[in-house]
Amino acid sequence: MKGLIYRDAFDIEYADTPEPAPEDTRSAIVKVTACGICGSDLHIYQGHGFSDEPGYCVGHEAVGEIVETGSGVSRFKSGDKVMISAAVGCGTCTACMAGRITHCETRGGRCYGLGHQLQGVQAEYAMVPVADFGLAKIPDGVSEDQALMLTDNLPTAWFGLKNADIQPGDRVAIVGCGPIGLMAVQGAFIMGASEVFAVDLVPERRAMAANLGAIALDADEAAAVIAERTGGKMADRVVECVGADPAIELSINLVRGAGTVSCIGVNQNMAFKFPMALAFIKGLTFRTGTCSVPEYWGELIPLIQAGKLAPEMTISHQMKLDEGAEAYRMFNARENGAMKMVLKP
């Protein structure tokens, strides 16, 4: 089969890759009908990945149709149209069975496309381990594009919002208006935010946030404008969706005393100097972590079905899988309005 293979920094190749084989009787094989490039995939593309060994298939967001199930799979059958959770757990512990995969009690948590341990899903077919807990049927009233956003991006945005302790009437700042940031803007209003400040360096992304009702700000002006609009109190809650050192520092500066900063951007700088003195003086709550995707499906699917969330609005390009190398290049360069890149075999 064909897939997108990481060769080296800035070198993703559409090439032959081995057909996926079941890991055990609990596995399923899915024919991929659509897959997405996540912002965190750019870390791999830029040469700052999670594995030192090249030659693996990338990607952790996909939807498709089951073509094979093992004897240990009871909830799905061939022909089912499904969405694949980016997060994979052991499927046997209490936490995994509740959907809290990042708290897997056997430390069996994995993610697709970070190395050779679990091949990525930007391919024609994907192997899903522990399929009964790593898959969900695409529900009625949810489109394929919306289901694709449910495999990682939308639950991650929701996780970040919930970690921010948003209360009705809060002023909320979203730092970073990529796909996850824009979904967080939508979600913040649903949670009752009275004002949402959307901070980004890219004018086109700020315009999209403004169309969602946010007060769109460049990073250079964010602190002054928020201070003016809040009488110097600053934002009650901040959700950081970038992961870069300056974005984290800005988030801490934008939050009020005793406020909450929720950081969901991926930061790989082990030498980052957390401004502990400022955090201490402010008495702020700072949370971070990765999302257990299935944990939030029960909350998010009804919101999509009711038309309250439209995660698919972040999709800027629909391309063929064999155009994947170009899609990565465009996304990395933010070229031609590149936002959410969707690839189809």
Percent of the chain whose pLDDT exceeds 90: 96
Residues 297 and 284 in one domain: no
Percent of the chain whose pLDDT exceeds 70: 100
8 A C-beta contact, residue 316 and residue 340? yes
Partners of 315 in the β-ladder: 340
8 A C-beta contact, residue 241 and residue 176? yes
Mean pLDDT of the chain: 96
Residues 238 and 113 in one domain: no
Residues 201 and 277 in one domain: yes
Question: How deeply is 42 buried, as exposed, middle or buried, from its count of CB atoms within 10 A (0-12, 13-18, 19+)?
Answer: middle
Residues 220 and 257 in one domain: yes
**For the chain, how many structural domains are there in total?**
2
More confident residue, 99 or 339: 339
Residues 174 and 305 in one domain: no
The pLDDT value given to residue 179:
97
Which residues constitute the domain of residue 316?
2-152+292-344
Q: Which amino acid is at 338?
A: A
Both structure tokens of 338: 């590149």
Residues 107 and 212 in one domain: no
**CATH code for position 56:** 3.90.180.10
Residues 115 and 159 in one domain: no
Residue at which a domain ends, from 288, 307, 325: 288
Residues 14 and 130 in one domain: yes
The pLDDT value given to residue 66:
98
| Distance of alpha carbon 278 from alpha carbon 32, whole angstroms | 47
CA-based torsion, 294, 305, 174, 178: positive or negative: positive
Residues 29-41 as b or e (16 or more Cβ within 10 Å = b): bbebbbbbbbbbb
Return the DSSP state at 123.
Answer: B
* Nearest alpha carbon to residue 67 among 1, 115, 111, 14: 1
The pLDDT value given to residue 65:
98
pTM of the model: 0.97
The pLDDT value given to residue 268:
87
**CATH code for position 252:** 3.40.50.720
Residues 20 and 142 in one domain: yes
pLDDT confidence tier of residue 49, bands split at 50, 70 and 90: confident
The pLDDT value given to residue 99:
87
Residues 296 and 315 in one domain: yes
List, for residues 214-229, the tens digit of each pLDDT value: 999 999 999 999 999 9
pLDDT confidence tier of residue 7, bands split at 50, 70 and 90: very high
Average pLDDT over residues 258-269: 95
Average pLDDT over residues 302-318: 98
Q: Which amino acid is at 174?
A: I
Average pLDDT over residues 277-299: 96
Whether residue 8 is predicted with pLDDT greater than 90 in this model: the reply is: yes
